[in-house]
Amino acid sequence: MSLGDALIVYFAFPILNLLLLIIFVGIILSWLIAFNVVNAHNQVVNAIWRITNTVTEPLVRPIRSVLPPLGGMDFSPLVLILIIYFLKGYVLPMLMTVI
């Protein structure tokens, strides 16, 4: 493998960790908004909500098209989290052994 491939694998772990953090923040914020704990019209809450949706929506949309909502709950972020953990735990370490 080339140096470029090694750099991609090296930077993939922190990017995937940041993506996991953004997904968890989005999930928790959606619960807080749904149960009226925080006000969605607050500027800070609205900004965080928009950022998390902007980052995660392109990744979750294909999963949502395959996985319908079950009982009114959206499990697509959970599937995305499982995919990220699979990438971090299996695919990236396997790529690192090849390098």
pLDDT cut 70: percent of the chain above it: 98
The helix/strand/coil state of 70 is strand
* Contact assessment for residue 52 and residue 77, using Cβ atoms and an 8 Å cutoff: no
How confident is residue 2, by pLDDT bands cut at 50, 70 and 90? confident
pLDDT at 99 over 70: no
DSSP 69: -
96, 84, 88, 94: which is closest to 5 by C-alpha? Answer: 96
Single pTM value for the model: 0.89
